[in-house]
Structure 1
Amino acid sequence: MLHMASFLLLQSVKIMSTTYTSNFNVEFKYKPSWFSYFISLLSIFCIFLNLSLYGDDLASETVYLTWQKDPTTTMTIQWISSKKEKEVQLFYRQSTEANWIQVKGIIFNFPHSPSYFINRVELTNLEPDTEYIFKIETNSQTHLFRTLPCSLQRPLRFVVGGDMYHDGIDLMIDICKQAAKTNPSFALVGGDIAYGVGASYIPLQKIERWIEWLKAWHQSMITPEGRLIPIIAAIGNHDLIGHYQQTPAQAKIFSSLFPMAETSIYNVFDFNSYLSIWLLDSGHANPVSGQQTTWLNRTLRERQHIQHRFAIYHVPAYPSIRNFNNKRSSIIRKFWVPAFEQGNLHAAFEHHDHAYKRTYPLLQNKIHPKGILYLGDGAWGIKKARQLKHTQPSYLAKFISIRHVIIVTLQSDKQYFMCINEYGQMIDEYQQNLESSNPNTIPNLNYP
């Protein structure tokens, strides 16, 4: 911020002492009065003051939640600031308690930006299924969150989508507000979040897209009870420099905003023994094949006892818009789909194609009652969803060219998927019954 003010001051002085040449090659010097100098300096001071105030507001406008570890007993709280504090402190307590607990965090530079800093505090040893209240030391505003339960004693709901800040931020906010109304425990995002990178570098205006996205998320992803909705994110091609066949070094913004216990971008989150979600990298910072596929096979085998098993990634194995035989989808079908099938995955959330799709249950590329469901295709913030330019693939049970978000509700023996548009209208629904389930019941979607 001080650097920016100094830059503006130097530019002002430079303008005051500039020699101008007219269209007729006549030179003249601008000779400002002392009053002009005073007005210019006053303007610079006002800009500096505004940046300082904005820095304080920025923290309260960009607070968001994510996880690095166990979602039932931890919470990672992050926010952006425009100045680097000597230390980061946060106060929290259970909403039913009176005494605040003080905890320190870390602060570090926002990657590729001289103007912003990321503040991070991880809370640990929390009680499951418990509401907490917290406040940042530099701001008296309080925020609420709830840890996840240890078991599915009641239905659990989360929302899924991707390809978010593609067009106007208001388009994204429309879907966010509808998603928040369903009172989800968390949001699962499948990449292309802010479209905040370039092909070979990150211009400053792209950084601003991340700030705008964070503000919009903070503003709109709040439950009817006032709780912030945590986000778990998988990487997309527009979340890192170079888009494909890169390394984690090109994804520093993504990994800083959505930190994980591991540093390899892909990960698996375990919600005790009732839910596991694999966050995969579809060829952006890590190859699909090799180490990632080996890890995927191993972690799927280790979690056969988990009640609900899902994967989320960006590029679809079974695209709706792109050609079925495109190179990137073919690679995913070759390496990941066999792992999904051998590991008894229940559903995979796919994105990238900017439309809505739901496949039939698929096994070995064929429709099969014991197959895997693939749904999504990413159109959270798309102004105009893409249209089919070819015959609808036979593996698609449903295709709609529409902006949307998916609401997932889990019970011990059921998985219910509902797709809604920006008006909250249901455009598709589907229920999977696990082997011990009663196929005739739909979960109660009105539970708080």
Structure 2
Amino acid sequence: MNVVDRRQFLGLTLSAAAFSAASNLLPFDDRYAHGKVLGADGMPVSPQVEGPETMFLTWPGDPTSTICIQWVDQDHGNELEIAYSPLESDNWQIAKVTTKPFPMTKDKVYRASISSLQPGTEYRFRMGADAPTFRFRTMPKKLTDTFHFVSGGDAGTGSHAIGTNQLAARQEPYFALLAGDLAYDNGKSPRTFIKFLKNYRAHMVDPQGRLIPLLACPGNHEVDGAYKQPREKAGSYLSVFDCFFPDTTYGVYDIGDDFSLVLLDTDHISPIEGEQTSWLEKTLAARQDKKHLFVANHVPAYPSYRAANIDSDKPGTGAAQRKLWCPLFERYNVDVVLEHHDHLFKRSHPLTDGRKDKYGVPYLGDGSWGMLRPLKEPELRPYLAKVSSSYHMTAHHLEGDERFHIALEENGRIADVCMTRNKRAARRG
């Protein structure tokens, strides 16, 4: 893994596209203080939205050919349909909308799952002949051009989460990945979850007007009881993400021929030990031909705030992952692990068995999309290459077998840039 300073970054092949996206985020006038569009009262402005206020997109399966359109609303008692077509075509097709209860309320989850879409294609959809039209795009089959997405964790529903939403949307990402602690509903506050969806719908629309699909894995604040709980204790979260997690709360997205994204559950619903770890090894082993192999989970193996206790007999944060998962990440040359939970920005050194190794695995993140803590004894965490107390998200730009990971603070400043290369195709020498 190479660390790239800002000056070097501007001179690299991929950086022109990456920095162009990042520079669009810098404040243009006073309304963009702290990265948020502000009203006259100084509070973040939520634009008026057309259609359901809670509508968002995710992928139930293959991101090159499927989409799931969902929203939460009152039970209107009538059958609904969604019409969709390629953006440049009038060949409209119809998808049925199904409903199911939204837990702990009288509301319903409305869902239209669409398959057999064309890869790398822009689509539009509407909910009636005179209804507003919305746009999205499918993932390409081959990542022949620069491909980018954004990631983070620990969002919530406050003003800083809105600011990071706006920052993320202006990157024009193919999708957003939140690795746990989306709404902070704790499995028992559906209205908090609805507020999160409303914020996402209002702000996670890219400059071209496309809705940005949301991917997520569970964190402790999705679950009533936080850890080792049954599925029904994560009612709000699984009411919409069960389209991808129908049985377990871990899975893998194979995005075209080149990219696999593994989503894991750090003991919130699915235990770390046992079936999930066995599945993880098989999944990583089967994807050694991928140009890009990422893993995302919530609780960090290498925390920036909580105690890891790596050299102690007392188990610390991430002990189970370090014992069971990190050896698999190292054995199968995972490119990057995205982890959160600690409400800071961090980038670890590339690590093997917890120690700096240029052939090791880097761990990025730590969850400050909308939550923040002060620094705590970073000098006692030699596995960390960089850490700061700042709201942030990370833009990942992938091209060929290289990746740039650009950490952007809430105000649009570049906090950190690092580059990783495909290790599965490389040989030590």
- SS at structure 2 position matched to 1:391: helix
Instruction: Please give the alpha-carbon distance, in whole angstroms, between the structure 2 residues aligned to 1:176 and 1:317.
Output: 26
Give the whole-Å Cα distance in 1 for the aligned partners of 2:163 and 2:151.
15
Moved more, 228-237 or 207-216: 207-216
SS at match of 1:60: coil
TM-score relative to the length of structure 2? 0.83
Structure 2 portions without partners, runs of 5+: 1-48, 310-314
Secondary structure in 1 aligned to 2:202? helix
Partners of 1:62 and 1:215 within 8 A in 2: yes
Question: Which of 74, 84, 93 is 2:85 aligned to?
Answer: 93
1:121 paired with 2:112, answer yes
Are the equivalent residues in 2 in contact too, given 1:385–1:403 (CA < 8 A)? no
8 A Cα contact 1:184 1:229, kept in partner: yes
Q: Which of 117, 122, 147 is the aligned partner of 1:131?
A: 122
- Cα deviations across residues 334-372 of structure 1 (Å, max 9, x unaligned)? 011111112211110010000000001111211111100
Corresponding residue for residue 50 of structure 1: none
Aligned length: 371
Distance 1:159 1:379, change over 3 A: same
Deviations along 1:115-145, one digit per CA (max 9) or x if unpaired, are x211010111001110000012497121100
Question: Secondary structure of 2:90's partner?
Answer: coil
Rounded to whole Å, the distance in 2 between the matches of 1:81 and 1:138 is 21
Q: 1:79 to 1:174 in 2, by over 3 A?
A: same
390-399 or 406-415, larger mean C-alpha shift = 390-399
Unpaired stretches in structure 1, ≥5 consecutive residues: 1-56, 438-448
Find the counterpart in structure 2 of residue 406 from structure 1: 394
102-111 or 66-75, larger mean C-alpha shift? 102-111
Task: Name 1:162's counterpart in structure 2.
Answer: 153
Q: CA deviation at 1:392?
A: 4.0
CA displacement at 1:414 relative to structure 2 = 0.3
Q: Please report how far the alpha carbon of residue 78 of structure 1 lies from its aligned counterpart in structure 2 after TM superposition.
A: 0.4
Q: For residue 52 of structure 2, what is the aligned residue in structure 1?
A: 60
Q: Secondary structure at the match of 1:256?
A: helix
The 2-side partners of 1:187 and 1:319 are apart by 22
Does structure 1 conserve the Cα–Cα contact (< 8 Å) formed by 2:303 and 2:317?
no
Q: Distance in 2 between matches of 1:209 and 1:324?
A: 31
**For 2:232 and 2:83, how far apart are their aligned partners in 1?**
33
Could you tell me the percent identity over the aligned residues? Answer: 36
Of 394, 406, 413, which residue of structure 2 is paired with 1:425? 413
Q: 1:362 aligns with which of 347, 351, 357?
A: 351
DSSP 3-state at the match of 1:215: helix
The 2-side partners of 1:361 and 1:85 are apart by 54
Does the 8 Å contact 1:79/1:119 carry over to 2? Answer: yes
Q: Deviations over 1:219-274 (max 9, x none)?
A: 11111101000011010000011100112232232122222154201111101221
1:215 is aligned, of 193, 198, 203, to 198
Q: Which amino acid aligns with 1:179?
A: A
The equivalences for 1:149-228 within 5 A come to 149-165=140-156, 169-197=158-186, 202=188, 206-228=189-211
- Partner of 2:325, secondary structure, is helix
Q: Conserved in 1, the CA contact under 8 Å of 2:397 and 2:403?
A: yes
Asked if the contact 1:169–1:216 (Cα under 8 Å) also holds between the matched residues in 2, the reply is: no
The structural deviation recorded for 1:421 is 1.0
In the TM superposition, what are the counterparts of 1:311-330 in structure 2 within 5 Å?
311-325=295-309, 326-330=315-319
Distance (Å, rounded) in 2 between the aligned partners of 1:390 and 1:73:
44
Aligned residue for 1:393? Answer: 381
Give the alignment's TM-score, normalised by structure 1. 0.80
In the alignment, which residue of structure 1 is the partner of 2:216?
233
CA displacement at 1:209 relative to structure 2: 1.0
- Rounded to whole Å, the distance in 2 between the matches of 1:378 and 1:197 is 17
- 1:416 aligns to what? 404
Letter of the structure 2 residue corresponding to residue 249 of structure 1: E
1:292-315: CA deviations, max 9, x gaps? 000001111111111100111110
TM-superposed deviation, 1:84: 3.9
Instruction: Return the alpha-carbon distance in structure 1 between the equivalents of residues 127 and 233 of structure 2.
Output: 30
| Deviation larger for 77-86 or 330-339 | 77-86
Is the CA contact 1:85–1:107 (under 8 Å) kept in the aligned structure 2? Answer: no
Tell me the equivalent position of 1:374: 363
CA contact 1:60–1:139 (8 Å) conserved in 2: no
Residue aligned with 2:120, SS: coil
**CA 226–390 in structure 1, closer or farther in 2 if over 3 Å, else same:** closer
RMSD, aligned CA: 1.7
Give SS of 1:61's match.
coil
Distance 2:421 2:183 in 1: 35
**2:328 aligns with one of 326, 339, 342:** 339
Q: Provide the C-alpha distance between the structure 1 equivalents of 2:77 and 2:417, rounded to a whole number of angstroms.
A: 48
1:353 counterpart residue number? 342
Aligned partner of 1:69 among 61, 64, 69? 61
C-alpha deviation, 1:152, in angstroms: 1.1
Summarize the Cα distance change of 1:82–1:139 in structure 2 as closer, same or farther, 3 Å threshold. farther
Q: Which residue of 1 aligns with 2:239?
A: 256
Indicate conservation of the 8 Å contact 1:58/1:82, yes or no. Answer: no
Q: Which is bigger in relative contact order (C-alpha 8 A, separation at least 6)? A: 2
1:171-204 residue CA offsets vs partner (Å, 9 max, x unmatched):
1110111111111000111110001125xxx2xx
In structure 2, C-alpha distance between the alignment counterparts of 1:391 and 1:153, rounded to whole Å: 41
Letter aligned with residue 302 of structure 1: A
Runs of 4+ in 1 over 3 A off after TM superposition: none
Task: Measure the CA separation in 1 of the matches of 2:377 and 2:129.
Answer: 53
State how far apart, in whole Å, the 2-side matches of 1:58 and 1:196 are: 25
Structure 2 partner of 1:293? 277
Q: Distance in 2 between matches of 1:296 and 1:254?
A: 22
Q: Which has the higher helix share?
A: 1
